Amino acid sequence: MNIGLVGCGAMGRVYVDRLIRMNGVRVTAVCHPERAKAAVLAELLQASIYESYSEMIARPDIDIICVTLPTYLHKEYVLQALEAGKHVICEKPLTLTEEDCWELIETSRAKGVRLCVAHVVRFFPEYRDARMRLRSGEVGAVKSMRTTRASLMPAENSWFLDKRKSGGVVFDLMIHDIDYVLWLLGDQITNIRAEIIAREGVEQALAWLYYADGTIVSLEAVWGASNFHAGFDITGDQGVLSFGSIKEDIESDNKAVHENSSDRGVIIPEASELEDPYYCQLSSFIEAIETNGPLPITAEEACSAITIANRILECIKT
């Protein structure tokens, strides 16, 4: 499978580091607004550099486009690739609105191509195994669940701080856990409460999801932690599943990879070399495209997470 990559920043490099190790997969073209960034990856891959995205997606030998651009550019670039008849793997969130999501889904269906959305948390072993244990009945019926996810405050000049472009901390961090909760418990949510607590250098989003069967889920997402950390507690009527630490003071000693300064910027959680979730995710998508098999994460599922994220933002506004 030949792949074209658009977006040569932090996540673009994460993708390249995994794709380059896959048999039968080759990144043949890269595209980025800053040619110097594209050149670094192009040299590593022995790939062609494109300043024109339309020229890259017009290449008939490219099967898949990987979109690792900022969130606000996703719809435009994914739509162009789908309309060109390319399969697409796009970083989460797919878009910032349900309407835009469904436009992309309908386009993929009309063009007969696959649309994959990278909600990588599902592939982290601790999260995947907890779902398997839950489905086996190990903890009985779920009564409550808590999740937390914290990272650095984005850099001062970062597009992340423009919530019209990023969706803020809810779409950057919390959406990982929204998708995970929906994967575990479904979407029969009858009510939502949410709030933002902002103080100097810290922004903390809190949300509570109330399910029709009485299950209550609380979610926390924080910009402004001293390091990256994430965790969950799943409480059933016969036991508890836990990972990481649910801490009020948002401190952690988890290892992470930093981009930019030590106190502001982007953190990409470190992956195990033995069971790399980024590798597993990409290889699963590519296998599904090659075999026309079921996608491990559907665009419709990604759209459901966006719907809940926007309901949370509406609660915060009111």
Q: Which domain holds residue 285?
A: 2-118+277-296
Q: What is the pLDDT of residues 168-188, one digit of tens each?
A: 999 999 999 999 999 999 999
Whether residues 200 and 289 fall in one domain: no
Cβ atoms within 10 Å, residue 29: 24
Whether 31 shows a pLDDT value over 50: the answer reads: yes
Question: What is the count of structural domains for the chain?
Answer: 2
Q: What is the pLDDT of residues 32-55, one digit of tens each?
A: 988 888 999 999 999 999 999 999
Whether residues 83 and 223 fall in one domain: no
Whether residues 135 and 252 fall in one domain: yes
Please state, rounded to an integer, the average pLDDT across all residues of the chain: 92
Whether residues 241 and 282 fall in one domain: no
> Which residue, among 69, 63, 60, 51, has the nearest Cα to 15 in the 3D structure?
69
Contacts of 273 (CB under 8 A, 6+ apart): none
Which range among 30-34, 45-49, 109-113, 232-236 shows the weakest confidence by mean pLDDT? 30-34
Whether residues 151 and 174 fall in one domain: yes
Q: What is the residue type of 108?
A: S
What length is written for the chain? 318
Whether 261 shows a pLDDT value over 60: the answer reads: no
Whether 258 shows a pLDDT value over 50: the answer reads: no
Q: Which residues pair with 146 in a beta bridge?
A: 218, 233
Whether residues 110 and 180 fall in one domain: no
CA distance 259 to 160: 14
Q: Phi and psi (nearest 5°) for 34?
A: -100, 110
CA distance 211 to 118: 26
User: CA 184 → CA 53, 134, 294, distances in Å?
Assistant: 37, 8, 18
Q: What is the DSSP letter of 250?
A: -
CA distance 229 to 315: 25
Whether 268 shows a pLDDT value over 70: the answer reads: no
Whether residues 129 and 266 fall in one domain: yes
Cβ atoms within 10 Å, residue 137: 11
* Contact call for residues 154 and 127 (beta carbons, < 8 A): no
The CATH number of whichever domain residue 38 belongs to comes to 3.40.50.720
Percent of the chain residues topping a pLDDT of 70 = 91
Whether residues 254 and 128 fall in one domain: yes
Whether residues 146 and 58 fall in one domain: no
- Supply 82's token pair: 């789908």
CA distance 94 to 259: 23
- Does residue 303 lie in a domain region? no
